């Protein structure tokens, strides 16, 4: 057996999901529609109507997590369940679900790590402008108060707004996610309002739960120039400002990066939606930064989609996931060490994973060897980053379950646990069993020494 470094005592090990992707039960107990219910219906996409039925099966899923040695679970609270119209009346039945779930996790020795917003905006708010309307940030503050008052006495870690870059770009610039708009300036307005919502939430957490730790989970991409040509290097720096620094700098430094600000003003005109005091609020002190990492970006100096750089496809010879993303653990190490040196903030890996679509073999076992290999490589990279000084609090794999992958539907499988969506049967994959062995050792282990016993998967019940 080979090893690659131990992790600190108290390191959090777990997995992550989000409400619309796993819960199902979209009409249960007073939940109202979200923008994703509307978007999937309008476009004829797979919906979260059933998803993984986690709303009803959460206790069995928590037992699975405990059996896999997990000590933390990142999930999201569904705004349409808790405050169905976005503001006003609180739905006590929806809130009671999360109250029971937090208690159930704690009873199993699993730290609850809730995310306040993971993209399922109440449709009622969208009808009034959604994230283009500054008033939505105030509604989010009220919703945050409700969640903190109900759960704050038992939740030690809070996450605010998941991946504002993805929401703003895929939802408002490229039209691929809800609500399906296509305008760069609107996407920048939405990004600012999402960061304001984060600041609002951080202020509420500070006031109501002073002993809790909190921060924002960002989708972060190391950006590499395709060559040493100064034009490519400058393009990569510009792309990095667009994907990363536009969110990191206001949250952790209280200001937008000047070079990216100048670029955006050249492209869309004055960013006059940024009001006095906004950046002070956005820059409310964070206890941690949530890091969502999947792959790198290879950048060349050529215009693409209205921006002065081009994102290149996977490099020939580099391993890729079943969705075509490059599988590059060394970029994960670079990202974490860079964040430590640049911002010196505690890091929590809130998402990391990839698509491998392996299903059960005839013997019932799910041999997802690609995910096992990638998990091993990324945990080695994480261990090296810790050795190089990065202050990492824990690692939460995306995802616990094969869930609804937004506009991609159920075709992409990110889960440690296979879900047959026709029967809701769960099957623990080889990757989950390898991960459980790592958690038990608190150390990266050689997968060859910790393979799943034949026939052990597939016996996890419906």
Is residue 265 within 8 A of residue 185, CB to CB? The reply is no
Q: What token pair was written down for 248?
A: 């990191």
Query: What is the DSSP track for 198-266?
Result: HHHHHHHHHHH-TTSEEE-EEE---EEESSS-HHHHHHHHHHHIIIIIHHHHHHHHSS--HHHHHHHHH
Q: How many CB atoms lie within 10 A of CB 411?
A: 11
Token pair recorded at residue 42? 């309008």
Pick the catalytic residue from 23, 163, 240, 326.
163
Residue with tokens 């610039």: 173
Active site residue 351: yes
CA torsion angle 76 79 82 84 (round to 10): -150
Token pair 């075509």 in the structure block, residue: 324
Residue 8 burial by Cβ neighbours in a 10 Å radius (0-12, 13-18, 19+): exposed
Catalytic residue (choose from 23, 240, 326, 351): 351
Q: Which two tokens stand for residue 30?
A: 């007073």
CA distances from 450 to 7, 435, 459 (A): 18, 9, 19
d(CA 445, CA 437) in angstroms, rounded, equals 8
Residues 195, 197: Cα–Cα separation, whole Å:
5
Joined together, the tokens standing for residue 29 give 């107990």
- C-beta neighbour count of 270 within 10 angstroms: 8
Q: What H or E segment, with its residue span, contains residue 161?
A: strand 157-161
> Within 10 Å of residue 10's Cβ, how many Cβ atoms?
9
Active site residue 163: yes
Helix and strand totals (H; E) in the chain: 16, 16
Catalytic residue list:
163, 351
């Amino acid at each position: 057996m080979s090893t690659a470094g131990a992790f600190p005592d108290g390191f959090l090990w777990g997995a992550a999901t989000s409400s619309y992707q796993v819960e199902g039960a979209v009409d249960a107990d007073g939940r109202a529609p979200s923008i994703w219910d509307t978007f999937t219906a309008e476009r004829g996409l797979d919906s979260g109507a059933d998803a993984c039925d986690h709303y009803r099966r959460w206790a069995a899923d928590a037992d699975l997590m405990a059996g896999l040695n997990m000590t933390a679970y990142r999930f999201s609270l569904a705004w349409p369940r808790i405050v169905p119209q976005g503001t006003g009346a609180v739905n006590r039945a929806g809130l009671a679900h999360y109250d029971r779930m937090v208690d159930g996790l704690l009873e199993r020795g699993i730290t609850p790590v809730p995310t306040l917003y993971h993209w399922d905006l109440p449709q009622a708010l969208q009808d009034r402008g959604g994230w283009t309307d500054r008033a939505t940030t105030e509604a989010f503050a009220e919703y945050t108060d409700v969640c903190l008052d109900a759960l704050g006495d038992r939740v030690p870690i809070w996450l605010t707004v998941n991946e504002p870059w993805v929401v703003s770009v895929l939802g408002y610039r490229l039209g691929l996610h809800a609500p399906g708009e296509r305008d760069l300036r609107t996407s920048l307005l939405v990004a600012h309002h999402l960061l304001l919502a984060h600041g609002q939430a951080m202020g509420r957490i500070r006031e109501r739960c002073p002993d809790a730790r909190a921060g924002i989970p960002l989708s972060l991409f190391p950006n590499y120039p395709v060559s040493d040509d100064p034009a490519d290097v400058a393009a990569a720096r510009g792309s990095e400002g667009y994907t990363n620094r536009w969110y990191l700098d206001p949250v952790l430094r209280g200001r937008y990066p000047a070079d990216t600000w100048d670029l955006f003003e050249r492209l869309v005109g004055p960013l006059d939606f940024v009001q006095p005091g906004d950046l002070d609020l956005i820059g409310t002190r964070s206890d941690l930064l949530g890091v969502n990492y999947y792959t790198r970006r290879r950048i060349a100096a050529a215009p693409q989609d209205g921006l002065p750089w081009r994102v290149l496809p996977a490099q020939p010879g580099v391993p890729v996931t079943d969705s075509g993303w490059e599988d590059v653990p060394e970029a994960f190490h670079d990202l974490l060490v860079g964040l430590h040196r640049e911002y010196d903030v505690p890091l929590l890996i809130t998402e990391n994973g990839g698509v491998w679509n392996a299903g059960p073999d005839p013997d019932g076992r799910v041999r997802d060897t690609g995910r096992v290999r990638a998990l091993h490589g990324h945990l080695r990279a994480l261990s090296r980053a810790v050795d190089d000084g990065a202050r990492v609090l824990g690692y939460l794999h995306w995802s616990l379950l094969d869930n609804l992958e937004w506009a991609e539907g159920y075709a992409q499988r990110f889960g440690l646990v296979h879900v047959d969506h026709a029967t809701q049967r769960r099957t623990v994959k080889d990757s989950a069993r390898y991960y459980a062995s790592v958690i038990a050792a608190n150390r990266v282990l050689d997968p060859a020494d910790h393979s799943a016993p034949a026939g052990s998967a597939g016996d996890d019940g419906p």
